[in-house]
Amino acid sequence: MDEKKSTEQVDLTKANQITGFQLFSMTTSMVMTVYGFAAFAKQGPTAFFYLFLAGILWFLPVTRTAGEMASIDGWSKGGIFTWSRDMLGERAGWSALFYQWIHITVGMNTMMYFILGCFSVSFGLPVIANNPTVKFILMMVMIWGLIWLQQRGTAVTGKIAQWCFTLGVIIPVFFLLFLFIAYLVQGNPALIHVNTHTIFPSSWNGSVLVGFVPFILAFAGAEGSASHVKDLENPKVYPKVMTALAICAICSDIIGSMAIAMTIPNDQIQLSNGIVFAYGALVQRFGISVVLVEKVVGFLLAVGVLGEISSWVVGPNAGMFEAAKEGYLPPRFSKSNKYGIETNVMILQGVVVSIVGALLTFGAGGNKSSVSFQTAMSLTVALYTMMYMMMFVTYLVLQFKHKDLHRTFQASRVMGLRVTYGVLGFILSAFGFVVTFFPPADYSAHDKKTYLTLLLIAFVIMGILPFILYMYHDKWARQLGLDPNKPYAEQAAAKEDAK
C-alpha cells in the first residue's frame, strides 16, 4: 500500500514540476501584455512617463516584495492568501486572494477581445470582432477549451506557456523591434515627438490620468506565479526569474507602444488590434506584403495571448484551491483530480468569466468594442489594485513586526529600501485605483455614462462578494472536518501525522 502511494506521489510531482524557464514563460505570459500596446500608444509621448511610474516605481516593488514573501518558510503555497492571512488576519487574506482571483475573470475577457481582434485580421473576418453574438460564442470556445487542456497537470501549462511565449511574444516583439529600428534609420518621420515637454500629462485631472490604467495592467501579475515556487526544480532561481521578467517587460512595452504611436495617427489606433496594423504600417515602406504580414503577425500575437490566458487559468486558482481546503468556499471546491489540478475551482472561474464576458460584450451596446475593452481594463485594474494595496500593507507589517521569519531572499539588505518598496508600491496602487473611475476624456457623454454604469455595477458586486462568502466560512470549514477556531496549518499537520 505504501509503495503504491509512493508511486502515485512521484507521478503527481512529475506532472507538476517545472523548470525556471517554464516559470519565466508562465509569468512573462501573465505580465507581458502585447494586447496593451495600442492602449499605451494612445497616450503618445506620455507613455514614457507612465512606463516610468508603472514599469519601475511600481513593478520593481511588486517583483521584489513578492519574491521575498514567496521565499519565506511555509509561504510557498497559497500566494497572497497565505501572506495576507498570516500578517493581517483571515478576512483580509481571503479578500486579497478573492480580488486577485476575480480580477482575472475580467482580464481574460480583455485578452479574448484582443485575440478575436487579431483573428479578424488574420482570417479577413471582421464579424469575429464586430458581431457581439459571434464574439461571445468564440470567447466561450476559447476559455472552456483552455480549461479542458489544463486538466493534466501544471507541467502541461508550462509547456503551453513556453511555446506560446516563444511564438506569440518573442518572435513578434523582436520582429517589431527590427522593423522599427529600420524605419527610424531610414529617416522616416515619427508622428510623435518625445522630449521633456511632451512626456508629462497635458493636465492632471482624472479623465486624462485614466490613461495610466493600461500601464498598471501591463505590469500586474508577477505575484500570480508565486504559488508555483514549490513546483520549481530549483526554487532558488525564483528571484532571478523576477529580475529577468522586469527587464523584458519594460523593454517590450517601450518597443511596442512607440512603434504604434510613431507610425499610426492617434485617432486611427484601435485598442483591440492596433498592434497588428502597426506591423503593416512599418513593412509597407520595405516592399513587403502588408496583408500577409498583418495576417501572420495577427495569428502569432493571438497565440501569445492564448498562452497568457492558459497561465492565468492555473495561477490564482492554485491559491483559491488552498483557500477552499480551509473552508472559504463550499467543500466541492476543495477536491482535485488525479493530477492534483483544482478542476472545480477552474470550472467556477470559467462560469464567472462567461458571465462577465456576457455583461461586457452585450452591455456596451452594439459593436462598441472600444468601450467594452476600456471598461474591462478599468474593472480589472480597480479590483487588482485593491489586492495590491493589501499586499503592500502585508509586506510592511512583515518588515516591522516579523523580522524573525526565515526567508531565502530579501527585496534588499537595507531595511529603509525595503520599507520604501512597500510604501511606494502602496501609493501607486492607490493612484491606479482612483483614476480607473474617470472616463477617458475623448468619450462622448453617452459612452461615459455606459462606461461608468458598467464599471460601478460590476465593481460593487465583486467588491462585496468575498465578505458575503466569508459569512459561511465556519459552516464550510466544519463540513470539511475542520475547527474554524484553530489554525489550519496545525490541523493539516495533525492529519498528515495521523496518516
User: What values do phi and psi take at 237, rounded to 5?
Assistant: -80, -5
Q: Residue 415 has what pLDDT?
A: 94
Q: How far apart are CA 167 and CA 493, in angstroms?
A: 44
pTM of the model: 0.77
Closest CA to 299 of 131, 492, 167: 167
User: Given a cut of 80, is residue 465 above it in pLDDT?
Assistant: yes
Instruction: Write the pLDDT tens digit of every residue in 100-143.
Output: 888 877 778 878 888 888 888 888 888 887 888 999 999 999 99
User: What values do phi and psi take at 158, rounded to 5?
Assistant: -60, -40
Identity at 366, one-letter amino acid code: G
Inter-residue contact 251 to 19 (CB < 8 Å)? no
Closest CA to 435 of 93, 201, 94: 201
CA 231 vs. chain centroid, Å, equals 20
User: Given a cut of 90, is residue 393 above it in pLDDT?
Assistant: yes
Q: Residue 6 has what pLDDT?
A: 44
Rounded mean pLDDT, 413-424: 94
Q: How far is CA 160 from CA 20, 138, 276, 428, in A?
A: 15, 20, 23, 33
How wide is the angle at C-alpha 152 spanned by C-alphas 151 and 155, nearest 5°?
120
- pLDDT level of residue 366 (50, 70, 90 thresholds): very low
Cβ neighbours of 303 (radius 10 Å): 20
Q: How far is CA 383 from CA 10, 313, 328, in A?
A: 38, 17, 19
Instruction: Write the pLDDT tens digit of every residue in 62-75.
Output: 888 887 888 788 77
Q: How far apart are CA 47 and CA 213, in angstroms?
A: 11
Sign of CA dihedral 458, 332, 73, 488: positive
Instruction: Write the pLDDT tens digit of every residue in 37-51.
Output: 887 888 888 888 888
User: Given a cut of 50, is residue 10 above it in pLDDT?
Assistant: no
Rounded mean pLDDT, 236-250: 76
Inter-residue contact 231 to 16 (CB < 8 Å)? yes
Q: Where are the alpha helices (DSSP H) in 166-289?
A: 171-185, 206-209, 213-219, 238-261, 274-283
User: Which helix or strand (DSSP H or E) is residue 292 part of?
Assistant: helix 290-324
Contacts of 378 (CB under 8 A, 6+ apart): 210, 213, 436, 437, 451, 455
Dihedral of the CA atoms 223, 228, 234, 238 (nearest 10)?
0
Q: Cell digits for 167?
A: 511564438
User: Given a cut of 60, is residue 369 above it in pLDDT?
Assistant: no
Q: Residue 262 has what pLDDT?
A: 85
User: Given a cut of 50, is residue 342 above it in pLDDT?
Assistant: yes
Q: How far apart are CA 421 and CA 412, in angstroms?
A: 9
Q: How far apart are CA 275 and CA 34, in angstroms?
A: 8
Cβ neighbours of 150 (radius 10 Å): 21
Q: Which of 5-19, 119-133, 205-219, 259-273 has the highest mean pLDDT?
A: 119-133
Domains and CATH numbers, the chain: 2-483 (1.20.1740.10)
Q: Residue 422 has what pLDDT?
A: 95
Instruction: Give DSSP secondary structure letters for 185-205.
Output: HTTPPPSS--STTTSS-S--S
Q: Which of 15-24, 83-92, 170-179, 232-241 has the highest mean pLDDT?
A: 83-92
Rounded mean pLDDT, 273-279: 76
Q: How far apart are CA 124 and CA 130, in angstroms?
A: 12
- pLDDT level of residue 8 (50, 70, 90 thresholds): very low
Mean pLDDT estimate for the chain: 81
